[in-house]
Structure 1
C-alpha cells in the first residue's frame, strides 16, 4: 500500500523495482582459455558486499614468447555509466592479456555479477569505494603475487569511469597506482547540468528532479526504487538523451546480460550527480595519464579533456579521434586504436611487449556499450 501511495501514477515512463536474475545461464560468462590467455571469475569485498570480476591472465606461452621473466603488470578496469563488465570490456581486456598484461575487470556493487541492492544505482561515491577496494585487494595479494605484480598497477576507465580512475589515482597516490588510462572521461558536473538545461529546458529537468526526489523518499521508506531510462531518445525521461544515429548504435541486437541488465538507473542518482566533478582533482595526480577523447563527443567534450591534460602537466598525453561518444568506445578496441594505449602501458610499466592481436575474432561490434 505504501509503495502505491509513493508512486507517481502520471509518470508512465517510471519503473518501480528491479530484480536481479541469478538463474539464467549465459554462455559468454563461462571461463575462457586459449594459447594467449585465460579468463576466470574472482571475487573481492567492497564494504562487506561481494563484487565479481573477471581475471585475465597471460598464458605461460605468451609470457615465454614475450620474455616476461617476472609476474606481469595488472590493469584494473570497470565500465562507465550504468554498464557492467560483459558490455564491451572483453575486447579491450583480451588484447591487453594477449600483450602480456594481466587484467581485473570488475562490476560495481548492484551491477552484473556483483551483489548489492538497490540494483543499478549509479552512485559515484560508491563507485569510487569499489575502485579503491579493487585496488587494495590486488595489492594485498588477492590475485597472487606470483601471477601479477601488484607494484605495477594501472587503472583503465571509460566515460563515467574515466572520471573515476582519475579521482582514484589522485586519492590513492603514486605508491599504489602507477598509470592511468582515461577514455572519453566524464570531468565536470557544471558543464553537464548546463547542457541539460540548454537541451531540455527547465520544465523537463524539473520533471526529472521530481522523480528523483520521489525515489529518494522511497529509499528512506524502504520501498523499491523508482527507475528511469539510462539512455533514451530526445524528449524521453532518460538520464542521457542520444541522437537517433547514436540510439541505432546502442540498440543493435545484443545477448542477455548478467544479472538481467536493463536500460534503467535509479532516479535518485540525479540528486548527487551534480556534486561530482573529477576535473577538480586532476591537479593531485602524480602518475602518467593517457586520455583518449572524441572531437565529436557531445557527452564528454574534448575541450574538457584538453583542459585536464594541461592541468596534470607533462605526465599527461591526449589522443584525439574523430568520433562521437558511443562511437569512440566502440572503435576504441580496434587493434590499430588500442596499440598506442598498450605502447603507453609498456613505456610506463615496463616488461610488456606490444602484440595487440586478440586470440580470436573480436566480438565487440555487436555488443551494446554505454559510457
Structure 2
C-alpha cells in the first residue's frame, strides 16, 4: 500500500546531507499528496519505530518524509551524537522546504510530526507563522518539563559538560555519557522504566548507540516549547500518556489551556514509551492521530 525509498537532502551545513526515508501511497491520484515530515526524539534515530507510523499514514493516503538530524543516525555531521536544538529545528525546516518544492506534494497540506523531544519541535514549529504547516502532531511531547534528578546528578552533569565543552572547543572528541541509564546512575534519561522502554523500540537492525555528548544536556533547560503555545498557528494534536514520568504531562495540559488550536487526547494509564509500536497503548495513540489527520487534512 506504499513504496519506500531513501533520499539525501542537503542540510543547512554545507557538505552534510540528511538521510530521509520517503513513503508514498501506491493508490493512484492525480492530485498532489498531503505530506507528513517526521523525526525522532532525544538521542533516537528513525530506525527506532518511526516506520510503523509512516507505513500507517501512507496506507491512509499520506506521503511521509522521515529523517535523521545532522550528527545522528544515517545523516552526516561531526562530532557524532551531539544534540543542538537549533540544528534540529533547522533540519525540520530544510525537509519541509524540500517537500514544498516537489510537484507530487501539496505545499499547502504539510503536517509536522514529532514524538517525545521532537514532539516539542512539532509544537515549536507549529507556532512559526512563516512556516505555516496545515497541522501538527506531538506524541508524548517534551514541553519543557522533565522529571527532577538528585543534586549529585546535576553536579556530575555540570562537571562532565564543562570538560566536554573544553574538548570540543579544542576540536577533540566529545565527552560522552549514556543516553539512558537506570535511576540513580549517570545518564541523560534516568527515570524509572526508561531503559527497558527505550530498548523496546530499538529494532534489531538499528544502529543505536547509547551515548550523547555531555554538554548536549545544557541545551534542554532553556528549550521550552510550551512557551510558544499562544503563537500556534494550526490545529495541533497532543497525544498524552497520563502516567508519563519522563516528559511531564503538566506542560501539555498548559498548552491545551493556552490555545484553542490544541486538541489533547489523554491515554489513560500509559507511560511515556507505552504509545510506541509493540506496546499496549500504541493502537490508541495511532488511531487518534489518524482521526486527527482525517479531520484536518483529509485525503
| TM-score > 0.5, shorter chain as reference | yes
1:152-174, Cα deviation, whole Å (9 max, x unpaired): 1001100100000111121254x
**Structure 1: which 5+ runs fail to align?**
1-35, 352-371
Secondary structure at the counterpart of residue 111 of structure 1 = coil
Preserved contact between residue 92 and residue 333 of structure 1 (Cα < 8 Å) = no
- Tell me the distance in 2 between the aligned counterparts of 1:69 and 1:317: 31
Would the aligned equivalents of 1:294 and 1:301 in 2 still touch at CA under 8 Å? no
Q: Determine the structure 1 residue equivalent to 2:258.
A: 311
State which of 160, 173, 185 in structure 1 corresponds to 2:117.
160
Number of residue pairs the alignment of both structures matches: 294
Task: Tell me how far apart the structure 2 counterparts of residues 97 and 268 of structure 1 sit (CA, whole Å).
Answer: 37
| Rg (Cα) greater in structure | 1
How far apart, CA to CA, are the structure 2 residues paired with 1:332 and 1:132? Answer: 33
2:139 maps to 1:183: yes
Relative to the length of structure 2, the TM-score reads 0.93
Question: How far did residue 251 of structure 1 move?
Answer: 3.5
SS of 2:106's partner is: coil
The separation in 2 between residues aligned to 1:288 and 1:254, in whole angstroms, is 32
- Rounded to whole Å, the distance in 2 between the matches of 1:333 and 1:106 is 24
Q: Distance in 2 between matches of 1:160 and 1:50?
A: 22
1:75 aligns with 2:23: no
Cα deviation 1:314-339 (Å, max 9, x = unaligned):
x2111101211112334488445312
CA distance in 2, matches of 1:44, 1:282: 30
How far did residue 249 of structure 1 move?
A: 3.7
1:247 aligns with 2:195: yes
The equivalent position to 2:24 in structure 1, one of 57, 62, 66, is 57
Q: Pick which of 90-99 and 319-328 moved more.
A: 319-328
Kindly indicate whether the alpha-carbon contact (under 8 Å) linking 2:47 and 2:203 is maintained by their aligned counterparts in 1: no
User: What secondary structure, in the 3-state scheme, does the structure 1 residue paired with 2:132 have?
Assistant: coil
- Report the equivalent of 2:171: 222
Superposition deviation, residue 125 in structure 1: 1.4
The corresponding residue for 1:291 is 238
Choose from 89, 107, 116 the match for 2:68. Answer: 107
Relative to 1, partners in 2 of residues 1:301 and 1:38: Cα closer, same or farther, differing over 3 Å?
same
Distance 1:50 1:182 in 2: 25
Distance in 2 of aligned mates of 1:132 and 1:333: 30
Aligned residue number for residue 128 of structure 2? 171
Q: Is the contact between residue 109 and residue 134 of structure 2 (CA under 8 Å) also seen in structure 1? A: yes
What's 1:345 paired with?
Answer: 293
3-state SS in 1 of match to 2:178: strand
Q: Supply the distance in 2 between the matched residues of 1:127 and 1:151 (Cα, whole angstroms).
A: 23
The superposition leaves residues 84-112 of structure 1 with CA deviations (integer Å, 9 ceiling, x where unpaired) of 11111011100000000000000000111
- Whether the 8 Å CA contact 1:209–1:270 is kept in 2: the answer is no
What's the CA shift string for 1:119-142, capped at 9, x where partnerless? 11121111111111111111122x
Structure scoring higher RCO (CA < 8 A, sep ≥ 6) equals 1
Query: 2:7 and 2:67 mapped to 1: Cα distance?
Result: 9
The residue matched to 1:55 in structure 2 has which SS? strand
Q: CA deviation at 1:309?
A: 1.3
Cα displacement (A) at 1:288: 0.4
User: TM-score, normalization: structure 1?
Assistant: 0.75
Match of 1:320 among 261, 266, 269: 266
Measured against aligned partners, the alpha-carbon deviations of 1:278-298 in whole angstroms (never above 9, x if no partner) come to 111121111001100011101
